Amino acid sequence: MTSDSINSPRLPALPAQSISHDVLMEKYVQRDEHCIDDIHQRVARALAQAERPGHREIWASRFLQALQDGFVPAGRIQSAAGTTLAATLINCFVQPVGDSITGNDEGYPGIYVALAEAAETMRRGGGVGYDFSRIRPHGAWVAGTRSSASGPVPFMRVFDCSCRTVESAGARRGAQMGVLRCDHPDIEDFIAAKDHGELTNFNLSVGLTDAFMQAVCDDRHIELVHRAEPGPRIRTDAQHQRGDGLWVYGVQPARALWERIMQSAYAHSEPGALFLDRINTDNNLSYCETIAATNPCGEQPLPPYGCCCLGSIDLTRFVKNPFEPSARFDEEGFSRLAGLAVRMLDNVLDITAWPLERQRQEALDKRRIGLGFTGLGDALVMLNLRYDAHEGRDAARRIAQALRDAAYAVSCELARERGAFPRFDADLYLSRNTFSSRLPEAQKARIRADGVRNSHLLSIAPTGTISLAFSDNVSNGIEPAYAWRFARRKRLPDGGTEEYIVEDHALRLYRQRMGAEAPLGPAFVSALEMSALAHVKMVAAVAPYIDAGISKTVNVPADCAYEDFKDLYMQAWQLGLKGLTTYRPNASTGAVLEARSRPSCSGCAAPVPSA
């Protein structure tokens, strides 16, 4: 299954960049390891332990080849598989949060029980996403007391403090996602939660419904609702109980709230947008779960206690004759590797440590995995295709389709060998306008005959650190290259930072093959040299082939006008996406990356602005 190297046999391998070496040594190597191949051997042996005795050495050899050929498991797997660390191999989870303080709220753990569960999850190395919408709004009546509720945002501060305090296994900083529905009475407090530098250990996203989005389009009002009864101190004539049991706390013009969301996203890059109805309609398991939140980076919409078992394939490894007129993508080699990667991620679910028993039960009932890719931007450059052009999007679409077809085919083979996931029901799984209902007919027939091992198989995650450490800084996930040469600040263990000059992998390979003075062609277009809409259109091209989600950040320059920014989330909803985030450097967000002088580039725009 080995693919030919993309490097000419006459040229030496690219020397490691200093930041790639330092990140590898700091985050991934274990005792007595010194290089990537040492990590590969440890990970391959660990994942092979899920295979039958007597076959493990064979599978360990195949898994090692897969890692050498460009499969890049997520950071938790790279750092902890095959070690004695008390760490999970799962990057992220979603944890439920109820409305009571310590008891159960219709099966949801009380707030401080949820806090303890999240702390244990982060201590074991997992990031956590939460939907805080069940917490009653500020001022609502608390039955059996003389007090009124604090609302979600004050409790989020407690979770933020806990995340900052807990040291995770493997020295990983805690990561959290906080979600609140757009119709929660405290939604404006949530949107403003980061206005003064708070909640630094959270990403924030608003859970947007189709009803709300349509109300924005139609310039109508929306009701702000919750199931908790308003207290006497805040009761108004507008408040009443609806037929569905929810209490109406007030009404608001949808466009006014929408404007508040977009102004906040423009000012400090949050909140992001999650389109809840699209997420749940598309969900293969909508017959047995409802999703209200995602993992911290947004690529995995998950039910309570759900997890994301992630890995990515480096697309640049499958570009033949890069930068030449004869450049092509090796779809056959890519599909073979994708199939083996599915088996490896399925094995992760059986060998990992689980922070909580509920997480283990949820994972083994549904066996979600998230195979994706990294290096899309660089691969398109190597194929002489612009990321922001129709031809580039069409190539990405074909790659995503090949990934889908290979992944589902192997998951069916695994179901025949190991059994389908326990919650599998063929009739329900293949109906109701879900992602799986739109699979090719031959694939659906196979699923009916053999079952499928994994309820979900595909997710495109951000891969900044693993792409930097294991793939010579290829462009991150689905993103285009941020810049061809830039300064990157890396956080040090003592809390300080160190600045590195980093070059993009495609540029380094181009210079090696074409010479230091060769002008760059028009395919060398970076994130800030294309329109924001071009970023959104790339997600729309790939999304129909990805069953879970895609983490995509639309990078916009600091001097982008608000008028050119304010419609991005609306465009994403109209294109059928599940979510989107933006990043515009400013005084409050700062900048981890700063573009430096751009190499000469024929046929491209002006130099990249500093970020």
Q: Do 506 and 475 form a contact (C-beta atoms < 8 A)? A: yes
- Catalytic, 104? Answer no
Residues 6+ apart with CB under 8 A from 42: 30, 33, 81, 82, 83
Q: Which amino acid belongs to residue 148? A: S
Q: Given 92, 182, 297, 309, which residue is catalytic?
A: 297
Strands 247-253 and 240-241: antiparallel
User: How far lies 463's CA from each of 429, 470, 484, 488, 519, in Å?
Assistant: 30, 10, 17, 15, 29
Per-residue burial over 249-284, b = 16 or more CB atoms within 10 Å of its CB, e = otherwise: bbebebbebbebbbebbbbbbbbbbbbbbbbbbbbb
Sign of the dihedral through C-alpha 14, 2, 418, 55: negative
Angle at 502 between CA 529 and CA 387, to 5 degrees: 30
For residue 142, what are its two tokens? 């608390």
CA distance 549 to 277: 14
- The pairs formed by 144-152 with CB atoms below 8 angstroms and a separation of 24 or more are 148/231, 148/233, 148/234, 149/228, 149/231, 151/186, 151/189, 152/180, 152/184, 152/186, 152/189, 152/190
For residue 546, what are its two tokens? 């990805």
Q: Given 289, 299, 362, 479, which residue is catalytic?
A: 299
Q: What are the DSSP E strand ranges found in 161-282?
A: 176-181, 202-208, 221-226, 240-241, 247-253, 272-275
- Catalytic, 297? Answer yes
The residue among 84, 81, 110 whose CA lies nearest residue 98 is: 110
For residue 335, what are its two tokens? 């599909």
Helix (H, G, I), strand (E, B) or coil at 240: strand
Tracing tokens 């403090």 back to the chain, one arrives at 161
The residue among 233, 268, 358, 262 whose CA lies nearest residue 306 is: 358
User: How far lies 163's CA from each of 120, 231, 278, 302, 445, in Å?
Assistant: 10, 32, 30, 20, 46
> Over the Cα atoms of the chain, what is R_g?
24
CA atoms within 13 A on the CB side of 510: 27
Question: How would DSSP label each residue in 487-547?
Answer: EEEEE-TTS-EEEEEEE-HHHHHHHHHH-TTPPB-TT---GGGS-HHHHHHHHHHHGGG-S
Q: If residue 129 lies in a helix (H) or strand (E), which one and from where to where?
A: strand 127-131
Q: Given 283, 284, 295, 347, which residue is catalytic?
A: 295
The residue among 349, 309, 359 whose CA lies nearest residue 109 is: 359
CA distance 598 to 481: 12
CA distance 184 to 487: 41
In 222-320, where does DSSP find H-type helix? 254-268, 276-282
Catalytic residues: 295, 297, 299
